[in-house]
Chain A
Amino acid sequence: MPTILIVAEQQPDGNLRKATLNAISAGRTLAEKAGGELHLVLLSKDPSKVTEELKGLGAKAVHTAAAPEFEHYLAEVFAPVIAGLAQELKADYVGQASTAMGKDLMPRVAARLKAAMATDVMGFNGSGADVTFTRPMWAGNVFAEVKLTTPVKVFSVRATEFPAAQGGQAAAEVKTFSPKLEPSKTKFVDFKEVKSARPELTEARVVVSGGRGTKGDFKEIEALADELGAAVGASRAVCDAGWVPNDLQVGQTGKVVAPQLYIAAGISGAIQHLAGMKSSKTIVAINKDPEAPIFQVADYGLVADLFKVLPELRQALQKLK
């Protein structure tokens, strides 16, 4: 019976990264298609809290290892441990959410397992040993059906394409293990967190994004976001300019979001930006240029100056309440 191993990710604040829930749900889908069983693994300085949460998510077992070296994630420390567990479990598939950690770690694990890998998997096709993966190419302009022919197959999951796994399932067996750690040639120096009171970009129900049209003034974008309880996003141009932090960037090279409502203000809609938000349920575009490509994907477009329109929009929304 095929074994699927999904890597859980703990945030610097000690909580489970939400995208792990989407990856677990992808792992469950794969387990059904391949006729296999789902295992989870967590490496942490202190796994206790996250393990409790992972137990009820429908896996057969949750494997945890605790060590001070796991406090700050490093590919060279984590990859041998994950690959070692995969070999011990005779795992056929190893996967993780396509977070910064997933993208950094999974290829290194794959290299160790002499496995081929599919990045940003959006779905699984076929059944049994013939399962194939759907993944985007060319900034989401092409969907490819991909077959991996190595005995072990590694993948990362595009979180927005899978629902978050729900708790309350039969409790998984928790198995602790104590891996021998290899010395790392890389040292963690520091982490500068961008703190925000707003919801996390990739998890928000509503996202308000600003582009070049804001000329670097995000006050109205932020005010509208706060009115809607939304996350703030940005186009590549404004991140490059240093107007807003890099981790707000939505696009092929930034974050992929799929909220219920995406409001793009002063964003022209370059291919690379569309790749990160095209799957949003409802898209609103506000732009002065009626020819801006963003209007081709927008459900509702308003040709207007964002500085005039955003305050009006905010007031109109207030009245709705």
Chain B
Amino acid sequence: MDAVKILVTAKRVEDPESKIKVKPDGSGIVQEGLKYKMNPFDEIGVEEGLRLVAKHTGEVVVVSIGGKEVQEQLRQALAMGAQRAVWVNHTGPLDQLGIAGLLQKVVEKEKPDIVVLGKQSIDDDQNQVGQYLAEFLGWSQATFASKVESLESEQEKNKVPALAVSADGKSVRVVREVDNGLATLECALPAVVTTDLRLNLPRYTSLPGIMKAKSKPIEELTPQKLGVDVTPKIQVLKMSSPPPRKAGIKVADVAALVDKLHNEAKVV
């Protein structure tokens, strides 16, 4: 088949290993000491895009929305091997409707064959944008893309793409992780795919990759230029810490454990 064009997203999020604390007034989270990185599901999306292009030839374009700092995530995707980047410069609040609206305009401009997004970002945990985008575009959707092999398989070591584009280039076959098993869909292209964790193991960036990324182009856009009203329709009124669990105890042996479960917790 001919070359494929893949658009991938790279959201900047708090490092999943960071300790997230709510500000005392509930207006947000404490920013000090936080590290940031690319959303892990997006990293998987970038990797899958690169594998598809390695197999079929073509181009991976990465997009991120946010202030100047998101260029760090765009550079990471470029260092992994993406050809160029689109930066939607926006610093105000943004919800999933706004994000999907902006991505729709970028897609209409770029005309990719497949848009690959993470299934959810690990900050908002909404799991919505890919589905909104597919509906806005009137495209086929396959969420929670996974694969049959494990992440320790030969296919994975050889970086074989899990998404299978048909020989005629008209459709893509996607294995989805659903309740009680795996479902397979055949999506007409162009299509929107969202990644689950078991789609692939993303590559690390190499030093030559990082050097090369510095000269790759980043196009700057804004919501105004794209003509999208991003006024949030989802307002977070207040944040709080989940109620803490009562401190537990350590027991000495199995007999003590069974005694506690039977006589104290009364669960066995």
Interaction A to B: yes
Chain A residues close to B by CB (< 8 Å): 11-12, 17, 72, 74-76, 79, 99-101, 103-108, 110-112, 116-120, 132, 136-150, 184-194, 200, 206, 228, 236, 239-243, 245-247, 252-253, 260-261, 271-272, 278, 281-284, 290, 295, 297-304, 309, 312-313, 316-317, 320
Return the contact of A247 from the options B132, B152, B179 (Cβ within 8 A): B179
Interface membership of B178, Cβ < 8 A: yes
Give the distance to chain B from A119, nearest Cβ to Cβ, in Å: 5
Taking CB atoms, residues of chain A closer than 8 Å to B238 are 144-145
**Assembly CA distance A313 to B268 (angstroms):** 12
Among A72, A108, A191, the most chain B Cβ lie within 10 Å of the Cβ of A108
Q: Do residues B254 and A302 form an inter-chain contact, with CB atoms below 8 A?
A: yes
Given the known inter-chain contacts A100-B177, A144-B236, please indicate yes or no for A253 contacting B196, CB distance below 8 A. yes
Show 9 A/B contacts (Cβ-Cβ < 8 Å), sorted by A.
A107-B132, A148-B235, A184-B140, A193-B180, A253-B197, A284-B257, A297-B245, A302-B254, A320-B262
Could you tell me the distance between the alpha carbons of A298 and B250 in the complex, rounded to whole angstroms? 9
Find A137's partner among B123, B182, B254 (CB 8 Å cutoff): B123
Number of interface residues of B (CB under 8 A): 82
Contact of A140 among B131, B140, B242, B253 (CB under 8 A): B242
Measured CA separation A13–B250 after assembly (Å): 43
Q: In the assembled complex, how far is the CB of residue B161 from the closest CB belonging to chain A, in whole angstroms? A: 17
| CB < 8 Å neighbour of A301 from B152, B183, B249 | B249
Minimum distance in angstroms from B123 CB to a CB of chain A = 6
The reply to whether B268 and A186 form a contact with Cβ atoms under 8 Å apart is: no
Determine if A120 and B125 form an interchain contact, defined as CB atoms under 8 angstroms apart: yes
Q: B237 and A236: CB pair below 8 A?
A: no
Secondary structure of the B contact surface, majority rule: mixed
CB distance from B159 to the nearest CB of A (A): 16
A312 to B81, CA, bound (A): 52
Q: Are B236 and A146 in contact (CB under 8 A)?
A: yes
Residues of A within 8 A of B136 (CB): 111
Task: Looking at the assembled complex, report how far the CB atom of B219 sits from the nearest CB atom of chain A, in whole angstroms.
Answer: 26
* Cβ contact within 8 Å between B151 and A242: yes
- Cβ contact within 8 Å between A117 and B126: yes
Whether a CB of chain A sits under 8 angstroms from the CB of B122 is yes
Q: Which chain B residues (220-236) contact chain A, with CB distance < 8 Å?
A: 233-236
Does A99 lie within 8 Å of B179, measured CB to CB? Answer: yes
Chain A residue nearest to B236 in the complex (CB): A144
Contact of A111 among B123, B125, B135 (CB under 8 A): B135
A18 to B: closest C-beta gap in Å: 11
A158, B40: Cα distance in complex, Å:
23
- Distance (whole angstroms) from the CB of B166 to the closest CB of chain A: 12
B251 part of interface (Cβ distance < 8 Å): yes
Q: Quick one: given A145-B236, A149-B235, are A300 and B248 in contact (CB under 8 Å)? A: yes
Q: Name which residue of chain A comes closest to B40, CB basis.
A: A253
Given contacts A76-B140, A104-B143, contact A302 B236 (CB under 8 A): no
Q: Pick the contact of A192 from B179, B182, B257 — CB < 8 Å? A: B182
Q: How far is the CB of B165 from chain A (nearest CB, A)?
A: 15
B205 at interface (Cβ–Cβ under 8 A)?
no
Chief secondary structure at chain A's binding surface: mixed
Which residues on the A side are within 8 Å of B209 (C-beta)? none
Taking a contact as CB atoms closer than 8 A, the residue among A108, A145, A278, A284 that contacts B141 in the complex is A108
Contact of A246 with B198 in the complex, beta carbons under 8 Å: yes
Q: Are A111 and B251 in touch, CB under 8 angstroms?
A: no
Contacts of A239 in B (CB 8 A): 198
Of B20, B235, B253, which is within 8 A of A142 by CB?
B20
Q: Is B241 an interface residue (CB 8 A)?
A: yes
- A83 to chain B: closest residue by CB: B135
Q: Are B142 and A186 in contact (CB under 8 A)?
A: yes
**Least CB distance, B197 to chain A, in whole angstroms:** 5
- Nearest chain B CB to A223's CB is how many angstroms away? 15
> What 1/0 flags go to B30-58 for Cβ under 8 Å of A?
00000000000000000000000000000
B108 lies within 8 A of chain A by Cβ: no
Given contacts A116-B97, A145-B237, contact A194 B268 (CB under 8 A): no
A72, A74, A139, A228: the one contacting B125 at CB < 8 Å is A139
With A and B bound together, what is the CA distance between A317 and B151 in angstroms? 36
Q: For residue B160, which residues in chain A have a CB less than 8 angstroms away from its CB? A: none
Chain B residue numbers with a CB within 8 Å of A138 are 14, 20, 29, 122-123, 125
Taking CB atoms, residues of chain A closer than 8 Å to B184 are 188-192
Q: Residues of B contacting A12 with CB < 8 Å?
A: 180
Among the listed A104, A206, A297, which residue makes an inter-chain contact with B248, where contact means beta carbons less than 8 Å apart? A297
Whole-angstrom distance from the CB of A130 to the nearest CB of chain B? Answer: 11
Neighbouring B residues of A139 by C-beta, 8 Å: 16, 20, 122, 125
Q: Which residues of B contact A194 (CB under 8 A)?
A: 180-181
Q: A111-B131, A188-B183 are in contact. Are A137 and B239 (CB under 8 A)?
A: yes
> Are B146 and A147 in contact (CB-based, < 8 A)?
no
Would you call B17 an interface residue if the criterion is a C-beta within 8 Å of the partner chain's C-beta atoms? yes
Q: Is B187 an interface residue (CB 8 A)?
A: yes
8 Å CB contact of A136 from B97, B125, B135: B125
How far is B17's CA from A78's CA once the two chains are assembled, in angstroms? 38
Q: Is the CB of B177 within 8 A of A247?
A: yes
The 5 A-B pairs of least Cβ separation, nearest first, read A242-B150, A107-B131, A111-B135, A100-B178, A116-B233
